[in-house]
Amino acid sequence: MSESRSPVFDNSFARLSGPFYSEQAPSSVPNPGLIRINTALAEQLNINSDWLASAEGIASMAGNHVPAGAQSLAAVYAGHQFGGWNPQLGDGRAVLLGELIGKDGIRYDWQLKGSGRTPYSRGGDGKSPLGPVIREYILCEAMAALGVPTTRALGAVTTGEMVFREQGLPGAVFSRVAQSHIRVGTMQFFAARRDNEALQTLSDYLIKRHFPEAADADNPILAMFKEILSRQACLLAQWQSIGFIHGVMNTDNMLLCGETIDYGPCAFMETYDPSTVFSSIDHQGRYAYGNQPSIAHWNLMQLAQALLPILDNSPTATEDSAVAIAQEAINSFPERYLNAYQNIIKDKLGLSQFKEADDALFQALLSNMEAQKADFTLCFRRLAELANESACINTSIRELFDFNEAFTPWLQQWRQRLIEDQQSPAHRQAQMFKANPVFIPRNHLVQEAISAAQSEGDFSYFNQLVDILAEPSQFDPSKLRYAMPAKPEQRVTQTFCGT
């Protein structure tokens, strides 16, 4: 018997009876070629990585073969896009192949993205060019390495066919893994149709799959909603703490399981400026860096709205009582966010405890950074170096960024604060290195990897970048190039979604 056996699927979403999806086989492609597989993730999902790298595994990632036990389907959803309501969306260029139980006991979706038309494709071709596949692979794996809840890259393949956008581009299919793909927009779809039965079925499913502790609460749907609020609050705090700009925070791009999804026009901020926007289609700056937490709050209000018909389970429930419950829960979001954010700020500043005055200390640093046009990532990393100067033998980070005299009063205040906060410099620095990474997926590096792959079929830049970003806090001077901000001529100011 060969070691290379196909994975064992268990498709709970496909077993749901109700109007949640359409059965949909992926389209075949002319000539699948392997770009990369994520061996560690495959093994974690109980997928034999030899099988995944075999002709059958590659054909499965390309959509040319549906592995035994998979039940491919396209899910339906709706959503608010840039604030405007769109009642009919869905997996227009993706199919869910099936679910796998990981070594951690958690159930995961394996989805193919760019696998052809579905009933929800509207005018689109259901395909993906290579560029967005490369971008998503790099970004989501970098986020995972940074400890941010995210969908993951299981692998990526080229298709051997051209995809037509403004020009002909090589096509690719991305294998995406998520704890599930159920979105705020999924709930909105059924709420808009007043299909309370579907809302209830989906909520029961979500509680079972993601929020089992909510099942024991007096009001399980409310308990689930509060847990969704908490997860999003933590997620947004993490995004803000590393300068991640999602770029397209539509309600259909917010997963109820709490993972980051949709790496279309996203990018990491370099120079600190809260108004930073990268998305080429975000003309009003709705999804600017500084707006992200309040946009998350807004999206969750839409979720509360969608859940209203099933939110009050008491015998005396009325529309007003449900609204009151929703309002109270949604009002807790800013505080949940603040708590999560302050917990990370403390790590970024190297403090064992967050005190009230630390907020002002942190804001003062941000103001300095903004005034000095400092690189967000390098500034915090340099601060981490200062936490234990005796241990710092290499000066490389300092060559890339150093605090100028405008920061001197702030640094004095910070050092003063450290005196009150008793912990060893080595311990403090370790804490700060973790919270203040040195390698982030800088846009010009992502662009370089895309260009080489797209124009020459050269994946070496992509592979190298993925490998470096897998250890975001581990600096060594030979990797200096990957820590550097873009030079003016390298700066990418706009990113595009894959459509």
The residue ranges that bind ligand AMP (CB under 6 A) are: 89-93, 120-121, 124-127, 248, 252-253, 262, 264, 497, 499
* Cross-strand bridge partners of residue 108: 100
Instruction: Sort residue 177 into left (φ over 0), alpha (ψ -120 to 50) or beta.
Output: beta
Tokens in use for 422?
A: 């008793």
Among Mg ion, ligand AMP, none, the one that 141 touches (CB under a kind-dependent 5 to 8 A) is: none
**Of 49 and 186, CB closest to Mg ion:** 186
Would you tell me the crossing angle of helices 319-330 and 220-242 to the nearest 10 degrees? 30
Q: What type of residue sits at position 31? A: N
The DSSP element (H or E) to which 270 belongs, if any, is: none
For residue 497, give the DSSP letter: -
Among ligand AMP, Mg ion, none, the one that 270 touches (CB under a kind-dependent 5 to 8 A) is: none
Among ligand AMP, Mg ion, none, the one that 89 touches (CB under a kind-dependent 5 to 8 A) is: ligand AMP
- Rounded to the nearest whole angstrom, what is the least distance from the CB of residue 150 to Mg ion in the complex? 14
Interface residues with Mg ion (CB under 5 A) are: 253, 262
Residue of 19, 452, 376, 438 whose CA lies nearest to 194 = 19
- Rounded to the nearest whole angstrom, what is the least distance from the CB of residue 264 to ligand AMP in the complex? 5
Active-site residue among 252, 262, 282, 375?
Answer: 252
Catalytic: 252?
yes
**Of 26 and 264, CB closest to ligand AMP:** 264
Chain-centroid distance, C-alpha 137: 11
Among ligand AMP, Mg ion, none, the one that 93 touches (CB under a kind-dependent 5 to 8 A) is: ligand AMP
- Rounded to the nearest whole angstrom, what is the least distance from the CB of residue 163 to ligand AMP in the complex? 8
Q: What type of residue sits at position 248? A: V
**Of 24 and 49, CB closest to ligand AMP:** 24
Residues 6+ apart with CB under 8 A from 498: 114, 128, 129, 131, 132, 133, 135, 136, 264
- Rounded to the nearest whole angstrom, what is the least distance from the CB of residue 131 to ligand AMP in the complex? 13
- Rounded to the nearest whole angstrom, what is the least distance from the CB of residue 197 to ligand AMP in the complex? 24
Among Mg ion, ligand AMP, none, the one that 19 touches (CB under a kind-dependent 5 to 8 A) is: none
**Of 247 and 441, CB closest to ligand AMP:** 247
**Of 131 and 264, CB closest to ligand AMP:** 264
Q: Which residue is nearest to ligand AMP (CB)?
A: 124
Q: Which long-range contacts (CB under 8 A, 24 or more apart) does 131-134 make?
A: 131/169, 131/450, 131/453, 131/454, 131/498, 132/174, 132/263, 132/264, 132/497, 132/498, 133/35, 133/172, 133/173, 133/174, 133/498, 134/35, 134/172, 134/446, 134/449, 134/450, 134/453, 134/454, 134/462
What is the set of active-site residues? 252
